Amino acid sequence: MEKNKKFIRFIFLVILIFFVGGIAGVIGERFFMPWLASFSSLEKYEFIKRANNKVTVIEKTKEINVKEDFSVANITEKVSPAVVSIISFRQEKELNNPLLGQIRSSKDIQKNVKTGLILTNDGLIVSVLDEVAEEIIKNNEDKLNKKSKWNFKILTSDSREIDAEIFAVDGFSRLVFYKVDRNDLSIPSLGDSTKIEIGEKVVVCGNAGGEYQNSFSSGLVKEEDHTFTLLNSELSSSEKLEGAFLLDAIIEKRNVGGPVVDYSGHVIGIANQIEKDGEMVGFVVPINNLKPTINKVIEKKEITNPYLGIYYLSINKEISLLNNLSVSRGALVYSFSGQQGLAVIKNSPADKAGLKIGDIITHVNQIAVDLENPLSSFINKNNPGDKIEVRVIRGEEKIDLKIILE
């Protein structure tokens, strides 16, 4: 019995020694050794250095804010000098009072001011086709209807005011090109829109003059819609460009005609708007879709828009499944009303060649028609008078038709 008591006391003593020793060790390591190390005369002893190196003293807690390295101004720094404001105004010759009719309402101002992008340092500027440019085209076609003259001014980002004139118009891409007599303009870097990924951040740039100068809107590319058409319809036209980027950023009227840049500052598209189902829809035409036209204008080649004369649906897998089609690509000659005359324009080259509503065009000149290579792009690569061959699926038949474009 006495032995058991001695053993218990021994165990208790051992535990007490470990406990007291542990506390002494903590006190010595955390407080006593750092205190000794504070004396310069003792710093030379190695055992104090080693002991002190094991101690981590947290003196205070600092709040750290992580901020994304993002600045619209930095991204658009290279392209902003090439973004201009285009002002169009009419000079009425028959007015007795030169001031009469010159004061414009805010609605008129908004209508007659838009954004443009300098393409070359010798004064070539691109924007989107608007009512003013369309009126000029109409007046040129109708020589008897020239009651007024339109003038244009370019306002640059450094506040220069330069006279401009319309240089070329492309109805296929709805672009209009202006020319100014300068050779010292800043130009942007055109990027590669095929490398843009869904979810990538981009910036929409605008310069509509006045208080709206240098307006920006940033957002994500939410979709690349290969079937998006420049018509107030879900249908495509053989004479209109197809394909667009859709953004979650708002594209306002003042940004229309302006560049859309990636985070490297390269232009990857031109901003535009179109009315669909009663609403204005903003979209971006990929710059690669526009480069052929831009290059033609830069090289001073004539822009010719060949005419086929059909409306169609670009077939994807969803359209193929929903309509029980035999193919999952191509161009379905179509009208929502089901009328031949609204799918194939009467007396058009397509009509003369025998194309019918319900036909599926799968090849042009033996090259496959698909979402990446829509029918309209094949047509626009030709000139009026060119002959093309199209492969058509009509029911269970495959037919080859030769068409002369006009």
Question: What pLDDT shows up at residue 27?
Answer: 60
Specify whether the CB–CB gap between 194 and 287 falls below 8 A.
no
Q: List the pLDDT tens digit at each of the 406 positions of the chain.
A: 555 666 667 666 667 666 666 666 656 555 555 555 555 555 555 555 555 554 444 455 555 444 444 577 777 888 989 999 998 876 655 444 544 445 455 556 667 788 999 999 999 999 998 877 777 767 665 544 444 566 888 998 888 899 999 999 999 999 999 999 999 899 999 999 999 999 999 999 987 655 546 778 888 999 999 999 988 888 999 999 999 999 998 888 888 999 999 988 999 999 999 988 888 899 999 999 999 999 999 998 888 899 999 999 999 999 899 889 999 999 999 999 989 999 999 999 999 999 999 999 999 999 999 999 999 999 999 999 999 999 999 999 999 999 999 9
**Residue environment code for 212-244, b if the CB has 16+ CB neighbours within 10 A, otherwise e:** bbebbbbeebeebeebbbbeeeebbbbbbbbbb
Question: What pLDDT shows up at residue 368?
Answer: 97
Q: Domain 193-298 is of which CATH architecture?
A: Beta Barrel (2.40)
Element counts in the chain: helices (H) and strands (E): 11, 19
For 324, the 3-state DSSP assignment is: coil
Q: What residue ranges do the domains of the chain occupy?
A: 2-53, 72-180, 193-298, 311-404
On the question of a common fold for 72-180 and 311-404, the answer reads no
Between CA 164 and CA 154 the distance in angstroms is 6
**Model confidence, pTM:** 0.76
As to burial, measured by CB atoms within 10 angstroms (0-12 exposed, 13-18 middle, 19+ buried), residue 175 is: buried
| Structure token pair of residue 314 | 């670009």
Between CA 79 and CA 335 the distance in angstroms is 42
Question: What pLDDT shows up at residue 214?
Answer: 73
The third-level CATH classification (topology) of the domain covering 72-180 is: Thrombin, subunit H (2.40.10)
Question: What pLDDT shows up at residue 385?
Answer: 96
DSSP string for residues in 165-204: EEEEEETTTTEEEEEES-S------B--GGG--TT-EEEE
Between CA 233 and CA 241 the distance in angstroms is 13
Question: What pLDDT shows up at residue 132?
Answer: 73
DSSP string for residues in 82-145: GEEEEEEEEEESS-SSTTTT----HHHHHHTEEEEEE-STTSEEEEE--HHHHHHHHHHHSTT-
| Structure token pair of residue 196 | 């843009």
User: What dotted CATH number matches 311-404?
Assistant: 2.30.42.10
